[in-house]
Amino acid sequence: MILSYNKKTLPIDLETFGFVKREYINGKKILNKCGRDFLYYGLHYYFPNKFKKESNNPFLIDKNKIFGFPVNAIFAWTMIQFYKVPRLFRELGLSLSIGDREIKTFMDFIVAMINPHKKLAEEAICEVEEAIDAGFVVGIDFPFSLLGLINHVIFVYGYDENNLYVFDTHQVLGLEYEKITDDNRYIMKIPKNIIKKRWTRFGRVWVMKKIF
């Protein structure tokens, strides 16, 4: 693994963390599940015994409709796969904000997706770094294809001067990040310059905090 001496990270043991891989059905990779996977990694960080690869993993989260009603990739824009998330987070003592909007209801989720608060890429990167310094779960959500119409949100594990270090569940075709592990853990390095280059008004930062 490529390490940086001045890298700052969340307090995560990479050898025991519950990494998962994106599932396949009938030989085809399931698409448009990055939000689900980010939330799983965040929940595993705060509740490692409740959400883990052996139970309440992303596949079982969908199967048991823990976040909402799972949908095919082409209907992911409806967001109904997350309609239970605000209530779940309240029950777990967590807060979630997306693009500076606190997610208290499903409608908040919808508005955060279609009309995020405008933020410069540099401001978003600073927000990510501040969350990591404070020990909070944070994700960077930015366009990567279809003229900026499709976003990808990724769990950010750490950062250094030039890069963000992220956890994914597969390697997204067309996204300029590098896998820095030789095993099946998708620990990736993405240059901050790529974030800046791809950033649009639909870029967002997701922050999960444990409030009690």
Rounded Cα distance between 19 and 14, Å, is 9
Q: How far apart are CA 82 and CA 109, in angstroms?
A: 8
pLDDT for the residue numbered 146: 55
pLDDT of 212? 82
Q: Give the pLDDT confidence score for residue 147 in this predicted structure.
A: 58
The per-residue pLDDT for 103 is 97
Tell me which residues of the chain have a pLDDT lower than 70. 1-5, 145-149
pLDDT confidence of residue 150? 80
Confidence at residue 73, expressed as pLDDT on a 0 to 100 scale:
86
For residues 205, 49, 168, 140, the Cα torsion angle rounded to the nearest 10 degrees is 10
Domains along the chain with CATH numbers: 8-210 (3.90.70)
- Give kind and range of the element (H or E) at residue 121: helix 121-134
pLDDT of residue 3: 52
What are the tokens at 23? 């599932």
What does the pLDDT read at residue 148? 57
Q: pTM for the full model?
A: 0.94
